[in-house]
Amino acid sequence: MSSDNLACPSTSDLRTQPVAALDKEGIGPAMTSIPMIACSTSLSEHHSGGSGTNKNKQMVEQLQRYGVISSKKVVEVMETIDRALFVPDGTPAYVDSPMAVGYNATISAPHMHATCLQLLEENLQPGMHALDVGSGTGYLTACFATMVGPQGRAIGVEHIPELVASSIKNIEKSAAALLLKGGSLSVHAGDGREGWPEHAPYDAIHVGAAAPEIPQPLIDQLKPGGRMVIPVGKIFQDLQVVDKNLDGSVSIRSETAVRYVPLTSRDAQLKGY
Ligand code: SAH
């Protein structure tokens, strides 16, 4: 991989670009500059069908090489769900950076997707229930659905109806299409701060936007033995791992410093926060 790859641009509006994770000391990027696939290549591959799959595989291999992914299951699911199907046309798909998807939202960087999948892996076993709050492009919802399988349940909740519609189209093009058709995967328009009580309790909850504090309904909808991964904070944010113990008590730890768009109201988001 040439160092040119490091020069791939990401969009410049920081408020809509939840930039990737900082290292644990918060003093600099740990995984923000993993050289991935050169932008020009990504762009052409995005439009060239089949060979995009190879580029997706290379992206996953790179994440393994850099120690971001150690889990075989996460490798499998990230190879199965092609990221290019979830980014807007003309957006480089395989660069390790968040990308703007409209409506002041982004698709998270591949290393953040990988990190969250890995943190939730034990709670994404076949047959389990998963909730993806702020599901955006639907990428992670599709990964969750693939991991929990047709006997499980993966629910995405997103408050921008246009993103709900486009995420469903993205999923229909992906390897998770049959799960959507079969009903084990669904995406809903709604305020994710309320969770999605209909299919609670959940073994796994992922929140893709930073909450000022952990919403109580999400804690309530977590199954005993369940795990939630949620960025918490305003300017300084931590990716928190919330485990509900079998006695119903909750243990919380910080995994790493991160920067995500806020978990907020639709109005605030559309006004630019
Ligand atoms: N995991 C998604 C991340 C999208 S960015 C992906 O990688 O595609 C965060 C998303 O959270 C945005 O799509 C935004 O619209 C959504 N969001 C923010 N506040 C929300 C809320 N209160 N309820 C539901 N979705 C919300």
Taking CA atoms only, the protein residue closest to ligand 1 atom 18 is: 263
CA atoms of 104 and 119, how far apart (whole Å): 26
Q: Please state, rounded to an integer, the average pLDDT across all residues of the chain.
A: 85
Nearest to residue 157, comparing CAs of 217, 97, 212? Answer: 217
Predicted TM-score (pTM) of the model is 0.86
Looking at residue 18, its pLDDT comes to 35
CB 247 within 8 A of CB 223: no
> DSSP class of residue 108?
P
**Which tops the pLDDT comparison, 251 or 18?**
251
Task: Tell me, in angstroms, the distance from the centre of ligand 1 to residue 187's CA.
Answer: 12
Residue 166's domain spans which residues?
A: 113-270
Residue found by looking up tokens 């990401």 in the block: 10
Lowest mean pLDDT among 36-45, 59-68, 133-142, 169-178: 36-45
Q: Of 56, 82, 107, which one is at a domain's C-terminal end?
A: 107
Q: Read off the pLDDT of residues 109-134 as tens digits, 9 standing for 90 and up.
A: 999 999 999 999 999 999 999 999 99
Catalytic residue among 42, 97, 108, 186: 108
CA atoms of 222 and 43, how far apart (whole Å): 39
Query: Is 81 close to ligand 1, i.e. is its CB under 6 Å away?
Result: no
> DSSP class of residue 197?
G
Q: How many CA atoms lie within 13 A of 180 on its CB side?
A: 20
Task: Tell me, in angstroms, the distance from the centre of ligand 1 to residue 2's CA.
Answer: 33
Q: Which atom of ligand 1 is nearest to the CA of 139?
A: 8
**Which tops the pLDDT comparison, 240 or 46?**
240
Together in a domain, 197 and 265: yes
pLDDT grade for 52, boundaries at 50, 70 and 90: confident
Together in a domain, 47 and 153: no
Q: Would you call 108 a catalytic residue per the annotation? A: yes
Q: Read off the pLDDT of residues 255-272 as tens digits, 9 standing for 90 and up.
A: 999 999 999 999 999 999
Q: Please tell me the total count of domains within the chain.
A: 2
Task: Tell me, in angstroms, the distance from the centre of ligand 1 to residue 199's CA.
Answer: 19
